[in-house]
Each structure stands twice: as structure tokens, then as C-alpha cells.
Amino acid sequence: MKNILVLCTGNSCRSQIAEGYLRQFAGDRATIYSAGIETHGVNPKAIAVMAEDHIDISKHTSNHIDEYNAIRFDHVITVCDNDNEACPFFPGKVERYHENFPDPAKTTGTPEAVMNEFRRVRELIKFYAKNFAQQHLN
């Protein structure tokens, strides 16, 4: 079984959404983790938009990358440019992937506009996660 880490700055939105979808698409072919180079707590709007797609991430926690020092990862996916640049070194044969998703938490405007941006980013991440699982976990 492969170990996959999704890394983001605060481990609050994008990496949490990606973790949820990768768990769904990977099934028992991989163990999925998410972490940040900081921890900001799981964003309630991320929990809400995932619930709309019938995925419960309400029990996820915001974890710091240092918590996973003992785990050997097969794949590390960075989901924003900041964490890609600050990504620590991982020993062993680790395949790194990067996709810079917009940060929906930085959206301003009406509550409806903010939630629509969370939904838009959710769909981008869902598409990426599905393709990743098909390409790398078969």
C-alpha cells in the first residue's frame, strides 16, 4: 500500500479537500495524509462544501508536516505555490507532484460568492484527485 501526503500552507482547505477526495478515489490502494507547513485548523466552509458532495471531512485535523517524520511517503502532492517552495526534503524515493489551486479562503464578497468559490476549487481538486488516483494507483 502506498503512502500519499498532500501538503499545503495551513492544512485548512485545499489539502483537506484533496485528502477527502484521494481517500475516496484511492480506496484501499493507499493511505492518505494531509499536512501543512503551518496549521490553521480545518476551515468550516471546506467541511460544508465537501458535505455537499457526500464526503465527511468534519473529523479531519490540521496537522503540521513534522508530525509525519516517521512515515515514508511514496507520493507528495503540494497544492499551492507557497508550500511547493517551502516543501521539506523527504528521504527515500518520493515522487513529488505540484498543482497550484486557488485559495478559496482568500475570497471576498457575499457569503454566496465565497461559497461558490469554495465549490469551484472543490471541483478542480476533485478532478485532479480522480486523475491522480487513476494514473498512479492502478
Contact 125, 50 (CB under 8 A): no
Phi, psi of 103 (to 5 degrees): -90, 105
Point out the catalytic residue in the list 8, 26, 57, 79: 8
Cα 99 to the center of its chain, rounded Å: 11
| Cβ-count burial 38-75 (b if 16+ within 10 Å, e if not) | bbeebbebbbebbeeeebebeebebbebeebeeeebbb
* Residue whose C-alpha cell is 479562503: 105
Phi, psi of 134 (to 5 degrees): -65, -40
Q: Let me know if 13 is a catalytic residue.
A: no
Strands of the sheet containing 95-98, edge to edge, are 30-36, 2-8, 75-78, 95-98
Point out the catalytic residue in the list 42, 50, 65, 80: 80
Point out the catalytic residue in the list 87, 94, 105, 115: 87
Q: Let me know if 87 is a catalytic residue.
A: yes
Question: Which positions are annotated as active-site residues?
Answer: 8, 80, 87
